[in-house]
Structure 1
Amino acid sequence: MRRELLLLDMALVYLRELDNQTKFAIWQIEESAEELIGKLQLDDNERNTLRQLSKGKRTLHWLATRVLLRYLLQTDKYIHCPSDANGKPYLPDYPYKISLTHSFEYAGVMLSTKGECGIDLERVMNKVVRIKEKFLKKEELQFIHPEHEVPQLYACWCAKEAVYKLQGNRGVSFLHDMTIQPFHYKPQGVLYLDLQKKGHTTRYQVYYEQFKDYMLGFVVE
């Protein structure tokens, strides 16, 4: 894998190419909504979507992912990025599968021509300890190391969220349908997740890493 950290006048803070088919980037949102809108071309449906969003972070997250998408696609043309019936975004005019994420002041986009993909970014906070039984089974909790409990829990959460986005169907349970295999936590690593769906089990290799005060998880078919 090739990794590159960027510190530019623009708010792109992290660009990574997993291979020649898959890449993702993270954008630090420093602009106002008006400044972000000025970087985009929006149709009537998208402007209506913006009006329906609550003001503040939700609007900024939506706009920032579209600006970042334009950067990754290297185009100044209008980008049609609708969502399917399950809320999964897609690009009808490009050969890429896509996944979007956002958390507080950051937004991220992942693109792949290899297959479906998923990415998740979360700010690491101690409150995850209170809800760990809601998304991890007893056998999964057994391999959580007390010394790294909070970041390891976030690595598990981001992995499950990334696979959830990849598979694209609502109704899949983090607790009941996804199982993470035991792994030793490191600030950057790989884990394996089994998804049980319609009587079939699929194993995914999920990458995770600490990014500043955040945890990042990403996966490709």
Structure 2
Amino acid sequence: MPVLLHEDFHAPGEYGLWHITETEEWLRNNVELSEAETVAIGQIKGEGRRREFLAARILLHHMSGRARRGELFKDESGKPHLRDSLFHVSISHTTDYAAAIAHPNPCGVDVQRIVPRIRRLANKFVGAGEKLQLIPEFELLQLHLIWSAKEAMYKAFGRRKIDFKQHLFVDFGAFNANTTTGTAFLKKGKAEMLFDLEFRIYDNFVLVGCVERVKVLL
């Protein structure tokens, strides 16, 4: 199980990243799925997507430290929850990688491959204030970080009908090649959420985690 990352995330939270090299058979043999999860994976046609589905759940269980795995189930808005846990959770996956995050506060995670075509989509999710932060040298990277941060915020919010350009705002501060943190804000109607961001940059993908900046109560 090649876990590339397993670190504290604004303790007592944590997040992790797994490079998926295992076969689907190995993954199936190393996770006990609930009835609902078995139905869900049965509806996934591609082997790669099934491997990602399984790996994300194994990673989350590995991070939990629990002897028996808790079911990952979704509410009516599609937000995942870990059975018998007080922590908020979020998962993400892309080709050959799975990510997970857990925290007492609302949180989200996103992992994205770096692809040039994101520039064609930028006007759909990058706001005016975010455009001012873009630096030519880092523009492609920043666009992916903005997108991933907003994906993570959307997951933390846990409700549908979010406009990434109108309702979500990302601030990296004075961005440079060593920047690994930022802040973000969600505002939709009466709903307002302030987030702390942390991200990791790899050769061909980015990982972004977010957690709402509220008092932790355990």
Say whether the fold is shared (TM-score over 0.5). yes
Partner of 1:23: 14
1:12-68 CA distances to partner (integer Å, 9 max, x unpaired)? 111111244110111111111111010011233222111111122221111001111
**Matched ranges for 1:48-127 at <5 A:** 48-113=39-104, 115-127=105-117
Partner of 1:141: 131
Matched, 1:204 2:195: yes
Equivalent AA in structure 2 for residue 141 of structure 1: K
Instruction: Provide the rounded CA distance (Å) in 2 between the counterparts of 1:185 and 1:215.
Output: 15
Instruction: Provide the rounded CA distance (Å) in 2 between the counterparts of 1:121 and 1:65.
Output: 12
Instruction: Provide the rounded CA distance (Å) in 2 between the counterparts of 1:97 and 1:199.
Output: 22
Could you tell me whether the CA contact under 8 Å between 2:93 and 2:110 is conserved in 1?
A: yes
Instruction: Provide the rounded CA distance (Å) in 1 between the counterparts of 2:38 and 2:167.
Output: 37
Distance 1:182 1:43, change over 3 A: closer
Please give the secondary structure, in 2, of the residue aligned with 1:66.
helix
- Which runs of no fewer than 5 residues in structure 2 stay unpaired? 213-218
Distance 1:11 1:39, change over 3 A: same
Distance 1:179 1:78, change over 3 A: closer
Partner of 1:153: 143
Partner of 1:194: 185
TM-score by length of structure 1 reads: 0.89
Partner of residue 160 from structure 2, selected from 170, 173, 183: 170
1:132 positional shift: 0.6
Give the stretch that moved more between structures: 51-60 or 195-204.
195-204
Instruction: Provide the rounded CA distance (Å) in 1 between the counterparts of 2:122 and 2:93.
Output: 21
Instruction: Provide the rounded CA distance (Å) in 2 between the counterparts of 1:50 and 1:200.
Output: 33
Partner of residue 23 from structure 2, selected from 13, 20, 32: 32
Instruction: Provide the rounded CA distance (Å) in 2 between the counterparts of 1:70 and 1:202.
Output: 28
Could you tell me whether the CA contact under 8 Å between 1:23 and 1:111 is conserved in 2?
A: yes
Please give the secondary structure, in 2, of the residue aligned with 1:193.
strand
Matched, 1:128 2:156: no
Instruction: Provide the rounded CA distance (Å) in 2 between the counterparts of 1:110 and 1:202.
Output: 18
Instruction: Provide the rounded CA distance (Å) in 1 between the counterparts of 2:211 and 2:191.
Output: 18
Partner of 1:213: 204
Please give the secondary structure, in 2, of the residue aligned with 1:102.
strand
Could you tell me whether the CA contact under 8 Å between 1:41 and 1:77 is conserved in 2?
A: no
- Which runs of no fewer than 5 residues in structure 1 stay unpaired? 1-9
1:112-141 CA distances to partner (integer Å, 9 max, x unpaired)? 12x111111111111111111010123321
Please give the secondary structure, in 1, of the residue aligned with 2:185.
strand
1:151 positional shift: 0.3
- Count of residues in Structure 1 that have an aligned counterpart in Structure 2: 211
Partner of residue 180 from structure 1, selected from 170, 178, 189: 170
Instruction: Provide the rounded CA distance (Å) in 2 between the counterparts of 1:55 and 1:84.
Output: 24
Instruction: Provide the rounded CA distance (Å) in 2 between the counterparts of 1:80 and 1:199.
Output: 32
Instruction: Provide the rounded CA distance (Å) in 2 between the counterparts of 1:108 and 1:138.
Output: 30
1:42-98 CA distances to partner (integer Å, 9 max, x unpaired)? 233222111111122221111001111221122342421100111110013122210
Instruction: Provide the rounded CA distance (Å) in 1 between the counterparts of 2:89 and 2:121.
Output: 29
Give the stretch that moved more between structures: 64-73 or 205-214.
205-214
Equivalent AA in structure 1 for residue 68 of structure 2: K
